[in-house]
Amino acid sequence: MKCTRCRAKAEVHLRAHNAGFCRPCYLTYFRRQVERAIAGDRMCITAERVLVAVSGGKDSLALWDVLIDLGYQTTGLYLAQGIGGYSDRSRQKVEAFASARALPLRVVDLADEGPGLAIPDVAALTRRSACSACGMLKRHFFDEAALAGEFDVLATGHNLDDEAARLLGNVLRWQVDHLVRQRPVLPPTHPRFVRKVKPLHLLSEYETAVYAFMRGIDYVVEECPNSVGATQLLYKDALNRLEAASPGTKLAFVREFHRRGQPAITARAEDDQRPPQTCARCGMPSWGDVCAFCKLVAEIETKRARGVTGPAA
Amino acid sequence: MKCTRCRAKAEVHLRAHNAGFCRPCYLTYFRRQVERAIAGDRMCITAERVLVAVSGGKDSLALWDVLIDLGYQTTGLYLAQGIGGYSDRSRQKVEAFASARALPLRVVDLADEGPGLAIPDVAALTRRSACSACGMLKRHFFDEAALAGEFDVLATGHNLDDEAARLLGNVLRWQVDHLVRQRPVLPPTHPRFVRKVKPLHLLSEYETAVYAFMRGIDYVVEECPNSVGATQLLYKDALNRLEAASPGTKLAFVREFHRRGQPAITARAEDDQRPPQTCARCGMPSWGDVCAFCKLVAEIETKRARGVTGPAA
């Protein structure tokens, strides 16, 4: 196969796009796709200060890499989750990436926050699953990092496979409220928060992996050990089978959702946008008297004080 | 496992419902599910005359069986598609079912209609695939059978697996117009047509197979040879995998679509309900000067007159 742009020998074949690229043209293609997503959805402009949430995986490091290339002022944000060797290794990758490029990086170590919030401890001391605890704590610390007014936007590395799997999950249960909120640009829910953007939302996992490989990015290949058997992986598998039989299925699913499905759904469901209150404990925006994060912290403090170490046997 | 209703030994286990049934209780359960679907969606009442579209497969024969049991006045309608041995065998099953129960049955033989409309001929002489030709001819002859005013409603045997697969296909491409029209009760699109209902739309393929088996219904087990590799089967396979990992997925997908997804989508998309015209050739309701069926017939007549027997080699 020949490169769709320059007719040289292609190194990558993208069946969903019915296109092939040599290495230089692939990198150009990838950057342009990110640029187009950012411009098309008005995610951010180069004058804005971007906080990039990085996990050490290929998607978030590829995102950071391409944002720098496109001229954005970026700071990395890494959340150390305390998930044993996996967290150690992913932190090393993130720190090596940032120091090799002299990029500013912030690290939040969950074990040092509040009563000690490493994911395994939170999961053991509360009724939450590790994945639910992790999602909630990510949201909290991402929002908090933006509170001081130093950043205009938070960027995450969610790719097409992530978005398609989440969309399939929302659609299988017709969670209309979730469908309304699944967007590549989430406006801030409070004046003190910043908007969240997903510049890679139309680029597949395969495409970001190829980009990371070609750019020599050293990333954590292993998946989080808690993700084994996660429903998300089941949805990804189902979508990958459909994609194999009909290339372009995932892209059409997500793109047509934003073009046609979501506008049709949104009109009705936009009402339940209650204005947020302020948390009586931490002062962060909250949808109750005390925010969900402070409720969790209080629960853990209580259990630690009682000497509880995990669920009753 | 014990029967959920009577505590006898269960013969069937329905994971999606977390229930088990002995044979008599399963038959009661199945009939009640059909009754509830008919009543809940106001499909029909026993005073109405029901035309049941039967293919010879388990779903349509199970439907006919249970409708009689529930006290409906029914007539069967079989469309002989001319698909070789498959059509011969399915016709035999339908005729045997009807004569054993002394039920009225109408047979439309496509080979005897117009210029000869057996599916293989239509597919060979036009650009349509066999499945597309079949769908179009079914719609035409089902509508036509109801024209004379002898029936109040047309019932088809679409089951949960059919509806879930169709819904997945519509959702993967976000075909909003199709999503709006996918309903267990389709009101007539013209005063001369009757409404169409799908009383089995929440009962799985497995549930109808068990019912047909327990009732001793002799049905065509083989699938239509044209369905091999059909996209519909790909969607069914994807949904079956999700169902195996999380029983109840298919039922929730279809039920919540009707409860939440479709009402959210419908408001906006209801506008393009153009009033039908009348076909200048056959006088049936039409969305153009000549209806799609008459266009097809004219194409075949022209090609037959020219001695064309199939696509140019």
Residues from chain B that touch A172, judged by Cβ atoms under 8 A, are: 242, 249, 252-253
Contacts (Cβ under 8 Å, ≥6 apart) of A195:
A152, A153, A154, A185, A186, A187, A188
The answer to whether the CB atoms of B256 and A173 lie below 8 A apart is: yes
For the cut 70, the answer to whether the pLDDT of residue B270 exceeds it is no
Residues from chain B that touch A237, judged by Cβ atoms under 8 A, are: 241
| Alpha helices (runs of H) in chain A, residue ranges in sequence order | 23-40, 58-69, 84-100, 119-125, 130-145, 160-172, 176-181, 205-214, 231-245, 249-256, 262-269, 292-305
The answer to whether the CB atoms of B173 and A259 lie below 8 A apart is: no
Instruction: Identify the pLDDT of residue A77.
Output: 97
Q: Which residue among A253, A259, A264 sits closest to B269, beta carbon to beta carbon?
A: A264
Identify the weakest region by mean pLDDT among A212-226, B86-100, B216-230. B216-230
What is the distance between the alpha carbons of residues B142 and A93, in angstroms, rounded to a whole number?
Answer: 64
**DSSP string computed for A164-175:** HHHHHHHHHTT-
| A232 in B contact zone (CB under 8 Å) | no
Identity of residue A307: G
Say which DSSP state B274 is in. P
| A264 in B contact zone (CB under 8 Å) | yes
Contact B20, B3 (CB under 8 A): yes
- pLDDT > 90: percent of chain B: 72
Identify the closest residue of chain A to B244 by CA–CA distance: A234
The answer to whether the CB atoms of B242 and A171 lie below 8 A apart is: no
Residues from chain A that touch B171, judged by Cβ atoms under 8 A, are: 171, 253, 261
For the cut 80, the answer to whether the pLDDT of residue B142 exceeds it is yes
Residues from chain B that touch A230, judged by Cβ atoms under 8 A, are: none
| A265 in B contact zone (CB under 8 Å) | yes
Instruction: Identify the pLDDT of residue A267.
Output: 65
Question: How far is the alpha carbon of B238 from chain A, nearest alpha carbon, in Å?
Answer: 6
Strand partners, A72: none
Rounded mean pLDDT, B270-280: 69
For A7-36, the pLDDT digits (tens) are 999 999 999 999 999 999 999 999 999 999
For B52-65, the pLDDT digits (tens) are 999 999 999 999 99
Chain B neighbours among A 202-231 (CB < 8 Å)? 231
Q: Which residue among B176, B256, B269 sits closest to A174, beta carbon to beta carbon?
A: B256
For B163-179, the pLDDT digits (tens) are 999 999 999 999 999 99
Instruction: Identify the pLDDT of residue B148.
Output: 82
> Of B35, B43, B5, whose CA–CA distance to B21 is shortest?
B5
| B249 in A contact zone (CB under 8 Å) | yes
Q: What is the mean pLDDT of chain A?
A: 92
- pLDDT > 70: percent of chain B: 96
> Of B69, B31, B8, whose CA–CA distance to B199 is shortest?
B31
Contact A284, A148 (CB under 8 A): no
Q: What is the mean pLDDT of chain B?
A: 92
Confidence at A313, pLDDT banded by 50, 70, 90: very low
Identify the weakest region by mean pLDDT among A80-89, A148-157, A191-200, B125-134. B125-134
Confidence at A152, pLDDT banded by 50, 70, 90: very high
Q: Which residue among A175, A242, A261 sits closest to B174, beta carbon to beta carbon?
A: A261
Residues from chain B that touch A176, judged by Cβ atoms under 8 A, are: 260-261, 264
Q: Which residue among B235, B261, B267 sits closest to A176, beta carbon to beta carbon?
A: B261
For A111-136, the pLDDT digits (tens) are 999 899 999 999 999 988 898 899 99
Pairwise pLDDT comparison (B224 vs A170), residue with the higher score: A170
Instruction: Identify the pLDDT of residue B223.
Output: 87
Instruction: Identify the pLDDT of residue B274.
Output: 65
Residue A50, Cβ density class (10 Å: 0-12 exposed, 13-18 middle, ≥19 buried): buried
| B238 in A contact zone (CB under 8 Å) | yes
How many interchain CB pairs under 8 A, A with B? 75
Which of B167, B172, B268 would you mutate first to test chain A, the one with the most A CBs within 10 A? Answer: B172
What is the distance between the alpha carbons of residues A208 and A62, in angstroms, rounded to a whole number?
Answer: 7
Confidence at B313, pLDDT banded by 50, 70, 90: very low
**DSSP string computed for B101-143:** TT--EEEEEGGGSTT---HHHHHHHSS--HHHHHHHHHHHHHH
For B110-119, the pLDDT digits (tens) are 999 989 999 9
Instruction: Give ∠ CA A20-A24-A25 in degrees, rounded to 5.
Output: 40
Strand runs labelled E in B235-280: 277-278
Contacts (Cβ under 8 Å, ≥6 apart) of A39:
none
Instruction: Identify the pLDDT of residue B287.
Output: 77
Confidence at B308, pLDDT banded by 50, 70, 90: confident
Chain B neighbours among A 118-177 (CB < 8 Å)? 171-176
For A238-257, the pLDDT digits (tens) are 999 999 999 999 999 999 99
Confidence at B267, pLDDT banded by 50, 70, 90: low
With 0.90 as the threshold, say if the pTM is over it: no
Residues from chain A that touch B264, judged by Cβ atoms under 8 A, are: 176, 264-265, 268-269
For A263-303, the pLDDT digits (tens) are 988 865 555 556 678 888 888 878 788 888 888 888 888 88
Say which DSSP state A218 is in. -
Q: Which residue among A172, A257, A265 sits closest to B264, beta carbon to beta carbon?
A: A265
Rounded mean pLDDT, A51-71: 97
Residues from chain B that touch A173, judged by Cβ atoms under 8 A, are: 252-253, 256
The answer to whether the CB atoms of A267 and B265 lie below 8 A apart is: no
For the cut 60, the answer to whether the pLDDT of residue B210 exceeds it is yes
> Of A308, A295, A309, A17, whose CA–CA distance to A136 is shortest?
A295
Pairwise pLDDT comparison (B293 vs B207), residue with the higher score: B207
Torsion of CA B126, B130, B132, B133, to 10 degrees: 60
Tokens 């065509």 belong to which residue? B220
